[in-house]
Structure 1
Amino acid sequence: MNQPTTPNPTTSSSPAAVQWIGESDGYLQLIDQTLLPGELRLIKCHNVETVWEAIKTLRVRGAPAIGIAAAYGVVLSQHGKTAAHSTSLAEAATSAAKYLATSRPTAVNLFWALDRMDHVINASRAGGSELGQALLAEARAIHEEDRAMCHAIGRHGAELIPDGATLMTHCNAGGLATAEYGTALSVMFTCQDQGKSIQVYADETRPLWQGARLTAWELQQRNIPTTIICDSMSAHVMQTRKIDAVIVGADRITSRGDAANKIGTYGLAVSAKFHGVPFYVAAPSSTFDMTLSDGAEIPIEQRDHQEVIAPYGQKLAPSGIDVYNPAFDVTPAELITALITERGVVQPVTAEAIAKHFA
């Protein structure tokens, strides 16, 4: 059963976006991010299907959070309907991992986390009921590693940001999208922790307004001065107001540094390049797909046309009109000033620099 609560935008005491409750026979609790900021509702996932639906419909979103949720989803395969219809617990876990991999195509963290769970399944096939405990231990490790990586990203990124800076961001790359603190927003939160004064322009991020609904909500909870702008206003703001840096997250980064992020990021990078504004991409190492070089190889999710013509049930366009609704675009490495990971800063952004960074 879902549990509604009332959000308090003046504090940072809201529950974690992704949280496992109990031991191997427990359940996954998620914030339903489709309802924010109007309602803070917690979803209790007791089966694999509920986790798949939550990922697919963006109730849980953000590349790291998707991976964490999917890992816990595999744990849920060890009890309930999935286990009952499988010949073994190992088969139930394998089927769950394959099923969860079909939820969304672009965020590489999803497949990275499921690969790690597959390794546990293959190593524990003879483990019987102990497999559930091993799967939970691995999912928790993925969760804790992401939390540590997010804080490290914040520390490295904060070194690039001067006191008094005015920043711009796109979509949501905060605690709602990760284990804690986020990637792009971790830089901002860490600046605040260090006593730096910053202010932020947050793109609304059409067509689902993750910037207006989620990023602004997180920044407001931390009492960081924030101004929401329409996506189409970002170039004007760079032209007429002093922007010290743009910081965004990513869902997949190639070996040469091309970065896939929420649709609209590429245009923001072009504007930043023209106006001489540093453009930073903050992401953990799990977001890098070293098997890909060219950003054109990244699969781009196409989402339902209703998100554009009738978002949240509000009809904005005539019936029968054609709609093109890619969820992501790819920013070429040449437009990225630096990549910020838990290991440090990659600058300039080249294949050679990235290979050295991860050597």
Structure 2
Amino acid sequence: MKRFDDDLAFMLRYENVAWYENGKVRILDRRMYPTKIEFVTCSTHQEVAQAIADMVTQSAGPYTAAGMGMALAAFECRDLGRKEMLDYLEKAAYTLSHARPTTANRMVLTTNGCLEAARKAMDEGRPVDEAIFMRTIDSLNRRYSTIEVVAEHLVTMFPDKGTIMTQCFGETIVGMMLRVARKREKDIKLFVPETRPYFQGARLTASVACDMGFDTTVITDNMPAFVMKRNKIDLFTSAADVICMDGHVVNKIGTYQIAISAKYHGVPYFVTGIPDKAHQTIDSVTIEERDPQLVLEARGVKNTLEGVKGYYPSFDITPPHLVSGVVTDKGIFIPYDLNRYYDTEVKEYY
């Protein structure tokens, strides 16, 4: 079977995202990578859902973990009759898809696809867990190949020898844009904000970029404006957890302030992803708030006195007037015209 993770960084290879084998799911613990390379092993689909909720994996990782978790759920109920098995898998699908509220709509697409694979396997008398596993691998292949097309459009906007600023960890698009840039011999440099409190930029984006041979500089989250002015950033880019049809972008907290700075300094901001028809307006998005204790510490080391409070909205909202373009597999759209994306057939990859 052809795989589309060839020549990518360690943490973007399928086995190092999430993997189902021998009745367990193994997930790379991105909360500590690259300081430590450790995997969280889940023996039940509920443990997979908890790992997703606990940020063991982030960005696109939860979609892979959910698919592998559905394979594990099928293993758990392998001795039940057809109706009982389907009931069990439907409950598991809800548990996994709703592990994090902001992305629940798209996670449902992943788990629904797994349910379809399960029904077909039952009809054909094949092992259901294996069918869901193979469906998840196929989904990974479709996502990687689709996002590579997105990357082709994005990299076209990179100047030769350009300097690019990222935000958080866009997972697939990070690997694919770097692979495309390398193929086109675009000698780009990256400035990577650290992305508190989990440091996904410093630990994940910077690791992938360095692993793939690019000049990579990490900056703290309060440096982007100064760096844009002093270091002549050519382009700011991020992925998105949700791109609403009205052009609002929901992404890791901090994206909004970088977009404001980019607008002020004349730096274009290109967001990558697929417009989400489930969110016609920003009003339909739930902004997840996480444990405020995480703001009071850095990688487990407490920085504040007892009695000091924290506040941790996990995402923020960037309005369309700050977005230069939405980069998709069908090209680049202005944020006010996203309905046109659906004028032609859409390639699903969840």
TM-score after normalising by structure 2: 0.87
Residue 278 (structure 1) aligned to one of 255, 260, 268? 268
Amino acid at match of 2:269: F
Do residues 328 (structure 1) and 315 (structure 2) align?
yes
Q: Which residue in the other structure is 2:53 paired with? A: 56
Question: Which 10-residue stretch deviates more, 64-73 or 133-142?
Answer: 133-142
Deviation at 1:137, TM superposition (A): 3.4
Question: Which 10-residue stretch deviates more, 307-316 or 200-209?
Answer: 307-316
> Does the C-alpha gap of structure 1 residues 150 and 317 become closer, same or farther in structure 2, counting only changes over 3 Å?
same
Partners of 1:201 and 1:349 lie apart in 2 by 29
Deviation at 1:354, TM superposition (A): 3.6
Q: Which residue in the other structure is 2:244 paired with? A: 254
Q: Which residue in the other structure is 1:4 paired with? A: none
Residue 315 (structure 1) aligned to one of 270, 280, 302? 302
Amino acid at match of 1:101: S
Alignment of 1:320-359 (within 5 A): 320-347=307-334, 349-356=336-343
Q: Deviation digits for residues 330-352 of structure 1, max 9, x if unmatched?
A: 11122111111222222354244
Residue 301 (structure 1) aligned to one of 265, 278, 288? 288
Alignment coverage as a number of residue pairs: 335
Q: Deviation digits for residues 74-110 of structure 1, max 9, x if unmatched?
A: 1111223x56799722122111111112311112432
Partners of 2:261 and 2:85 lie apart in 1 by 52
8 Å Cα contact 1:90-1:125 kept in structure 2: no
Partners of 2:114 and 2:320 lie apart in 1 by 31
8 Å Cα contact 1:20-1:26 kept in structure 2: no
Alignment of 1:1-359 (within 5 A): 12-13=9-10, 15-16=13-14, 17-22=16-21, 27-62=24-59, 64-80=60-76, 88-107=84-103, 108-121=105-118, 130-174=127-171, 182-283=172-273, 285=274, 288-347=275-334, 349-356=336-343
Partners of 1:268 and 1:274 lie apart in 2 by 10
8 Å Cα contact 1:28-1:46 kept in structure 2: yes
Deviation at 1:116, TM superposition (A): 2.1
Q: Deviation digits for residues 41-82 of structure 1, max 9, x if unmatched?
A: 1333342123112211111111x32112101211111223x5
Q: Deviation digits for residues 179-206 of structure 1, max 9, x if unmatched?
A: xxx1145223321222111001100111
Any idea what SS the aligned residue of 1:20 has? strand
Any idea what SS the aligned residue of 2:202 has? helix
Amino acid at match of 2:201: G
Deviation at 1:358, TM superposition (A): 5.9
Amino acid at match of 2:96: L
Partners of 1:228 and 1:320 lie apart in 2 by 32
Deviation at 1:38, TM superposition (A): 0.7
Deviation at 1:266, TM superposition (A): 0.7
Partners of 1:245 and 1:350 lie apart in 2 by 22
Gaps of 5+ in 1: 1-10, 175-181
Any idea what SS the aligned residue of 1:231 has? coil
Deviation at 1:139, TM superposition (A): 2.0
Q: Which residue in the other structure is 1:7 paired with? A: none
Question: Which 10-residue stretch deviates more, 67-76 or 340-349?
Answer: 340-349
Any idea what SS the aligned residue of 2:161 has? coil
Aligned residues: CA RMSD: 2.5
Deviation at 1:307, TM superposition (A): 0.8
Any idea what SS the aligned residue of 2:299 has? helix
Provide the identity percentage: 27
Q: Deviation digits for residues 249-295 of structure 1, max 9, x if unmatched?
A: 11111112211110000111111111111101112x3xx32122222
Gaps of 5+ in 2: 1-7
